[in-house]
Amino acid sequence: MKNYGGHILAVNTSVQDLSAIYRDQFTVFNHVTYMNTCSQGALADRVRASFDTYLQTLELKGSAWGDWAGHQENVRGLLAKFFNVASAEIAVTTSASAAVSSLASSFDYTQKRNKIVTTENEFPTIGQIWHAQERRGAKVVHVASKPDLTVDVAAVINAIDDETLIVSVTMVCFRNGAMTELEPIIEAAHKKGALVLVDAYQGTGAVPIDLSTLKTDFLVSGNLKYMLGAPGVGFMFARESTTKHLVPINTGWFAARDIFAMDIHAYDPATDARRFEAGTPAIPALYPAAAGLEIMLEVGMQNIYDYVAPLHDELRAGIEAMGGTVVTPSSRLNHGAMLAVASTDENAHVAALEGEKVVTSCRDGNIRVSPHFYNNREDVEKVLAAFAKHKSFLRK
């Protein structure tokens, strides 16, 4: 039992304590209480060591293209295992933006199907890339969110018609942690002959995703948040059975069928998902991407999801007990690994919490608190104590 603001809260201790097993691999906790995985995953010792492995290739070999290209294939294989799909369906890119830009370039918007249905919960990458296609004839439709901040699934379905080319929807909103019910949207889009892109950046590594059962045509994400990697690696799943007809015009030599053919007289793209890649990968970032993925596969996504859920519950209850408002929907089916706390001055609030050595972030008037499997209940207590000390920032 814990006491916050005079309220006694029950604590569920039945789930295996993952932090007891893995926390000592994350040295950031020797310095601060880190609750900002929605921005950047904490650095694991194994991930840190992977940078040294990359640097050793430079020291020992100078140019090591064989190692580097092989490491990209290693990342591709690990991602395929993580999502339970074939490696040929994974494109490894430098960012989620690069992946979506490549995808967007593969469509002909002069045809009848030129409508893009998206939502108000998207990350700027998504809206900006789709609106950039308006110069090529695309029509972009945004569906308003519901009062509880979740995507209005019924309204999205209603917006899908015979002119819809693709439905582009976030899994978890980066501003408030609201999670979207994806299956009905995917089913409705497919019935109308439209494709579906899921932006899962705030869900990947926090919520279990099995792409052998989630029938989206595309899923885009990256490795720097809950996947424990570093900036410089994004990726896109492209379902072979529904997307093989699409060939991007945004391209580069790593998207070629044979990257070592060096042909300058023809465009010969790969026939698998590699066709959505571009030029030289961010080689240094591939090493931490692989190291982070190996940790995630070792820990197990269902274990992570089950472990972090009670931390969410205790954080929410503690904030509400002291008079704060958590704007993230309360249902486990409608929130990701982030809780958004309403603030009167989000930037000053983040700074005040940082003064207590509690690291968070903010968006859209809210403080984002995002625990992962390396956090524990002592972290929760420190976070709540910091919020209580600065209660004046809490917005009702």
Bridge partners of 222, per DSSP, are 234
- pLDDT higher than 70, residue 16: yes
Percentage of the residues of the chain whose pLDDT score is greater than 90:
88
Q: Does 10 have pLDDT greater than 60?
A: no
What pLDDT score does 337 carry? Answer: 87
- pLDDT value of residue 260: 84
pLDDT at 7 over 60: no
- pLDDT average, residue stretch 186-202: 98
Mean pLDDT of 182-195: 98
State the pLDDT at residue 289.
Answer: 98
Assigned fold of 64-297: Aspartate Aminotransferase; domain 2 (3.40.640)
Greater pLDDT, 70 or 93: 93
Is the model's pLDDT at 5 over the cut of 80? no
Q: Which fold has domain 2-44+300-393?
A: Aspartate Aminotransferase, domain 1 (3.90.1150)
Residue 86, pLDDT > 50, answer: yes
What's the mean per-residue pLDDT of the chain?
A: 94
Reported as a single tens digit per residue, the pLDDT across 348-361 is: 999 999 999 999 99
Answer with the residue of higher pLDDT: 194 or 71. Answer: 194
What pTM does this model have?
Answer: 0.93
Look at residue 14 in the predicted model and tell me its pLDDT: 57
**Phi-psi sector, 102: left (phi>0), alpha (psi -120 to 50), beta:** alpha
pLDDT at residue number 251: 94
C-alpha gyration radius of the chain:
22
Q: Do 64-297 and 2-44+300-393 have the same topology in CATH?
A: no
Contacts of 56 (CB under 8 A, 6+ apart): none
Per cent of the chain over pLDDT 70 is 96
- Determine the Cα–Cα distance for residues 326 and 320; give it in Å rounded to an integer: 7
| Helix extents (H) in the chain | 18-22, 45-61, 65-83, 96-104, 124-132, 153-159, 183-191, 240-243, 283-299, 301-321, 346-355, 377-389
Query: pLDDT (tens digit, 9 = 90+) per residue, 298-308?
Result: 999 999 999 99
* Domain boundaries, given as residue ranges, for the chain: 2-44+300-393, 64-297
pLDDT (0 to 100) of residue 2: 43
Which pLDDT tens digit goes with each residue over 241-298? 999 999 999 999 899 999 888 889 999 999 999 999 999 899 999 999 999 999 999 9
